[in-house]
Chain A
């Protein structure tokens, strides 16, 4: 299926630790991590995306959030939000 191989392509990139797809309520749909981490990421990132999105739209109602990248010491979390779903990819940047 298209979804599967695309996920494989994403995963084959260098340093990708895990991929999570969650719906708009924060319930994970597909993941490559273990259950506990998935649920944790899903809950936390969902809240963050909501906040970020509301921030962007408060400043300019015509605007909308397209991509969110959180860079930390150990890795980078990339979130691609949409109306109904979010795609979260955790990557280890090549330093």
Chain B
């Protein structure tokens, strides 16, 4: 323990009187050796400070912290303020203080904990005062005290740096000068308009100077790279099929005719043919004998015919034969064909040129009617020469050797093929005699050539139609027509009269017998030798043939005439025997084919000698060019002036929209007629005047031709433009055909005709390519179903009723609004006026409301437009 400690202890003890008595303070002193023992921190209130003149920071400051206080003052303060006095803690010390002056130090920095401290001993006083005067490095305690004080900034000692600063610093040597300029225009130059003009100097541009920066070649560049593998695997998928041309050909290679001939003659060809023929024939015969590929299981199912359900019509037509003539049929189209009425297996086909729009109308080229036979399908048996293209022809019903045809130029042509009838008969299949390869070999070339028959008679052009003849029909052998149009009995029971129609709006009746008129002319023509005709059958007609009766078809309702394309007569069956001799005549004529009446000997009987037949239906169904079906009478009426005039048709219906190509009576019903137009077909009943009883829906393809089936009353065949055949069953459904045989031919079908015999049923189809295909009709199309006729009759009756009903209702509907219309015209004018007045008033009101109404009424219209 330093001696000061003990001093302080004693002093503190001494100052306090009894040290041990005041325990509180001494440990404070002992624990806080912060201040030396001979000083005592004091707090002096501001009142005390004022009293003693030691106000902090006024009298005593940091620099002069010492204040000498008189002891007496302190003691006086004790007495005045007693306990309250600030000096009370040091009272004893002050009383014991030997000296008179007490040092009070202002402890600005609170070194000893209070703002003042009182120095307790005079020695300390002296010491401190001395310390304040000069620093005493001796006592470390004093240093300790001073180290706690913040160091004061020492005065700056100049070491010469200020001179450098002086040199470097920039100072204004003189004051900144201020110049003021005043610029202004001369007064007189203010105001005038500015004048702009181009500058006289050239346009100064700013040429670019080459910047050396850009011409520097970049020698080094940083860029990043990345390694990529060389090998890269991937897969794709292409379509499996690789199409490759095995061979390409744009036009087929062909041989010319000479080359073909040469090849056909060459030896290698003949050898080949010999080898091959036998095997081919064997194979062909095998086919006909037995079908090795037949599926017997399936076959069992279809053989049973269900009577209740109509058996299904097979999907394909079986082709029996194809007839094409190489020489004559190539490149031509078949306009029409006919089965030979008596000879089995003989067909006569009319071939016409396929003409385009540009070719001249009446170019006379060789056209033929070709006769085919079943036995030889690629060669014609007989050729009939025609003066022009034949569009319609027909065999005479009483004498199949007479054929009448209608030409493109309007002529009517007759042929007599009696000389070749044997030849034709011989070509029938089944006839053994003539058909023999041996005979063919023996006979010379002349026999090989197809015989050509020239026409016996052709009507002179001036007497003929002015347009192509589209339909030719023989009148049945049961009646005749006089030149006044009256049907009379036919004594000889042979067909001698022909009816032709043509789009020149006329129907002509022709007689093939010698006419009573023009006897003198006939004599003249008898002297002339008919050129090239082998037969004199119709010599009497040459140059003089003319129609004995003409019917024109005036239009109903308008002027003009109908242009008939096809017509249909009612075949009349003679019921009663008129004379006793008729039976003989009948017997005689029953064997028609044997006895050919000599037409030149026949004369047209005078009309008066024959008894008129009243019950002949003289009405015709006619189909026209514009799609109308006309029901007209060919009998003429005697009009006012006494001459005969064609009567207007009884009915006319525009059922079809364009050319009518078929008008045909049903072979089962006398009064049902089928008419086929381009888009649809219709079924008519004679006697029903309202229209067709059935109309088919319009088809997409043109219907080019059609016919009834000869065996089944409800079946129709319709040929189409694309070469397909539709089979319609009237009893099954009317919206669509029962079966469509598509692509029967590659071209438009021009004619269809069925043919039946006891054994076989055929359907012959002719097309535009000159081919005639014969199909064997499946049984389902041939055998009628049970009660088909009666069912069909009932169906027709139903349809007829429906039509009548429809017409009645239409009439009713037409009548009703008429009645209303009658009333209205009377009322309307009155009502209208009233309404208009009301409207005007309303308008005025509105305009007034809008304020647009002007006074004058003329501007009424103006206000309208404003509104």
Contact = CB atoms under 8 A, between A and B. Distances in A.
Interface of A: 1-3, 5-18, 23, 25-30, 32-34, 36-37, 39, 42-43, 47, 66-67, 69, 71, 73-76, 78, 80, 82-85, 87, 89, 91-95
Given A32-B322, A43-B249, 14 more contacts: A9-B437, A10-B281, A15-B321, A17-B319, A25-B253, A32-B378, A69-B283, A74-B316, A80-B280, A82-B276, A85-B272, A85-B273, A89-B284, A92-B320
Contact of A91 (B253, B270, B277, B287): B287
Given A47-B246, A67-B283, A71-B293, A6 B277 contact: yes
B319 A43 contact: no
A94 B276 contact: no
Contacts, number: 126
B780 to A, nearest CB: 14
B505 to A, nearest CB: 38
26 contacts: A1-B264, A6-B277, A8-B379, A11-B376, A11-B377, A13-B288, A14-B320, A18-B322, A27-B254, A28-B255, A29-B255, A30-B264, A32-B378, A33-B324, A43-B249, A47-B247, A80-B279, A83-B272, A85-B268, A85-B269, A85-B272, A87-B272, A87-B273, A93-B287, A94-B287, A95-B291
Contacts of B260: 29-30
Nearest to B293: A71
B379 A94 contact: no
Interface of B: 246-247, 249, 252-255, 260, 263-264, 268-270, 272-273, 275-277, 279-281, 283-285, 287-288, 291, 293-294, 316, 318-322, 324, 326, 375-379, 437, 440, 746, 769, 771
Contacts of A93: 287-288, 291
A17 B293 CA distance: 20
B669 to A, nearest CB: 34
A18 B437 CA distance: 21
B745 to A, nearest CB: 10
Contacts of B326: 32
A87 to B, nearest CB: 5
Given A10-B284, A15-B287, A94-B318, A29 B378 contact: no
B288 A37 contact: no
B283 A78 contact: yes
B284 A13 contact: yes
B281 A27 contact: no
Contacts of A15: 287-288, 318-321
B357 to A, nearest CB: 23
B280 A78 contact: yes
Contacts of B320: 14-15, 92
A9 B281 contact: yes
Contacts of B264: 1, 3, 29-30
A7 B375 CA distance: 13
Contact of B318 (A9, A84, A85, A92): A92
B252 to A, nearest CB: 4
Contact of B280 (A18, A28, A87, A92): A87
Contacts of B324: 32-34
A9 B326 CA distance: 16
B293 to A, nearest CB: 6
Contacts of B283: 67, 69, 78
A28 B746 contact: no
Contacts of A16: 284, 321
Contacts of A42: 252
B263 A29 contact: yes
B377 A39 contact: no
Given A37-B746, A73-B316, A10 B440 contact: no
A2 B270 contact: yes
Nearest to B770: A34
Contacts of A67: 279, 283
Given A12-B376, A84-B268, A6 B287 contact: no
B742 to A, nearest CB: 11
B127 to A, nearest CB: 142
B284 A91 contact: yes
B288 A94 contact: yes
Contacts of B255: 27-29
A58 to B, nearest CB: 17
A25 B294 CA distance: 35
B516 to A, nearest CB: 51
A10 B277 contact: yes
A85 B247 CA distance: 19
Which residue, B270, B319, B437, has most C-beta atoms of chain A within 10 A?
A: B319
Contacts of B269: 3, 29, 84-85
Contacts of B375: 12
Closest 4 CB pairs of A and B: A39-B252, A80-B276, A82-B272, A92-B319
Contacts of B376: 8, 11-12
Nearest to B247: A47
Nearest to A18: B322
B252 A43 contact: yes
Contacts of B316: 73-74
A25 to B, nearest CB: 7
A6 B645 CA distance: 63
A90 to B, nearest CB: 10
Contacts of A9: 281, 437
Contacts of A33: 324
Contact of B273 (A6, A12, A89): A6
Interface hub of B284, B293, B321 (most chain A Cβ within 10 A) = B284
A95 B320 CA distance: 12
Contacts of A87: 272-273, 276-277, 280
Contacts of A11: 376-378
Nearest to B773: A17
A9 to B, nearest CB: 7
Contacts of B272: 82-85, 87
A5 B280 contact: no
B255 to A, nearest CB: 6
A42 B246 CA distance: 15
A94 B776 CA distance: 10
B287 A23 contact: no
A73 B298 CA distance: 14
A54 to B, nearest CB: 13
B377 A94 contact: no
Contacts of A75: 319
